[in-house]
Structure 1
Amino acid sequence: MSTLVLIPARMASTRLPGKPLADIAGRPMIVHVAARASESGLGRVVVATDTDIVAETVRAHGFEAVMTRSDHESGSDRIFEALTRLDPKGEVETVVNVQGDLPTIDPAIIQAALRPLGNAAVDISTLGVEITRHEEKVDPNVPKIIGSPLSAQRLRALYFTRATAPWGDGPLYHHVGLYVYRRSALERFVSLSPSPLEKRERLEQLRALEAGMRIDAEIVDTVPLGVDTAEHLERARELLSK
């Protein structure tokens, strides 16, 4: 499959403004993410941004950037615009959406996210990690996947929730917000209005499930550090300065 890796990046984060350009071990955060996405070897890597300085910085470090509109409501909308700008002839079959605030992400788990699309019935694939800490099981800031096991490494997603679920004995899985879309699935997804459960849980992926789309999750071993606060940024600096 022809694969395009897109990294949405915006400067207007409410909790950590300007975070794409935050210095981590001598390089801007968005450059770390682009480098790790490139190391996955999946294909062309492009940062999609609405800010000139982000695009200029990415290009200065040898990576590709594309400008998008500033009024997008979600990263999915931004990557779809980027896709249409970069590939107007429709040659790209698969789009990988890597969040721009994951500077420590392992390239191997980006590769792993593509595996469920080996099944032609899957529209979108994503990642999950088994939760081992009790506080994460009850934390609404840790989205969970409720899914039907297909193997030891894969779930078919039935629901995503901020609640502690499912009930009873057995593992709980943290949802990692990295997505791989078939092109047709991304086109359909961005054409849909936000769904009732999406708005209630504040989890965008529920829109796809409510529309009858299939999402499978590959189970991996580690949750990448998402940089949303000043504390997260300091932790990323510690990890990448070693």
Structure 2
Amino acid sequence: MTKILGIIPSRYGSQRLRGKALIDIGGKTMVQRVFEQASKAQKLDKVIVATDDERIFTHVKDFGGEAIMTSHNHPTGTDRCAEVALRFQKEYDVCINIQGDEPFINPDQIDELARLFSDPKTEIGTLISRIEDYDELFDHKEAKVVFNAKTFEAMYISRSPIPYYKDKIQPQWLKLHPYYKNLGIYGFKTDILANISQLPMSALEIAEGLEQVRWLEHYRIKVGISKMSTLSIDTADDLAKASKFV
């Protein structure tokens, strides 16, 4: 039986919304809401908050959650999760990186991702959803994914819309081809996650500004198509939108 660890990387510093992990959203902090939602997932055997901040660590312990202190030197949440994976690689087969800024994440979505690992060949898994909006298709903040039809493994991930229709005007593209975006939640075989931060940055990763491209150069990434959406809170405007969910 596959044992799965859910890891929520959480830091206090944030370029656009400082201290957002501890921001109150309808009577609960963001990190508490993420933890509670993740804990409802049926496929997770344990949920841990990984942080480098004593305030977050203490707060998680106070509301009854489990937390672990990690290094201050991690450039990404994936690197923070990799440190945790290194500690738990003998206990858990799979680790799922659950974004710490999605307080209303649907537990079913976490289970959706976890089910990709019922295939023993899955090394890394992620969820994607179909793009329905023109502005979203050309939004460089959204990572687009193309995948093969046989194994549902990613072929490439880019900030650019892929494929590019050279003979068609851009407003027509969505009608001509199904485009997909990455939902930002990833699962890893634990030994792969423990080693992934040791991989050198690649030219493609530097060009795209996407760490997923580096992983793709070394491992297979299986995708699952999800119809569920989540709200990521990065700005004060996002925080205002969150009040509608409480």
Q: Normalization by structure 1: what TM-score?
A: 0.93
Q: Provide the residue aligned with 2:182 in structure 1.
A: 175
Of 157, 160, 163, the match for 1:166: 163
Conserved in 1, the CA contact under 8 Å of 2:86 and 2:191? no
Cα distance in 2, alignment partners of residues 141 and 155 from structure 1: 23
Cα distance in 2, alignment partners of residues 184 and 49 from structure 1: 21
Conserved in 1, the CA contact under 8 Å of 2:102 and 2:233? yes
**In the alignment, does 2:8 pair up with 1:17?**
no
- Aligned residue for 1:122, secondary structure, equals coil
Q: Segments of 4+ in structure 1 off by > 4 A?
A: none
Conserved in 2, the CA contact under 8 Å of 1:67 and 1:82? no
Cα distance in 2, alignment partners of residues 6 and 187 from structure 1: 13
Q: Percent identity?
A: 35
Of 231, 235, 238, the match for 2:241: 235
Q: Provide the residue aligned with 1:3 in structure 2.
A: 4
Cα distance in 2, alignment partners of residues 166 and 121 from structure 1: 27
Q: Provide the residue aligned with 2:73 in structure 1.
A: 71
Aligned residues: CA RMSD: 1.4
Q: Provide the residue aligned with 1:127 in structure 2.
A: 127
Of 187, 196, 200, the match for 1:193: 200
- Point out the structure with the larger strand share: 1
Cα distance in 2, alignment partners of residues 228 and 179 from structure 1: 19
Conserved in 1, the CA contact under 8 Å of 2:86 and 2:194? no
- Aligned residue for 2:197, secondary structure, equals helix
- Aligned residue for 1:149, secondary structure, equals coil
Unmatched tracts of structure 2, length 5 or more: 166-175
**In the alignment, does 2:107 pair up with 1:107?**
yes
Cα distance in 1, alignment partners of residues 86 and 217 from structure 2: 25
Conserved in 2, the CA contact under 8 Å of 1:33 and 1:100? yes
1:197-208 alignment runs, 5 A limit: 197-208=204-215
- Aligned residue for 1:62, secondary structure, equals coil
Q: Provide the residue aligned with 1:62 in structure 2.
A: 64
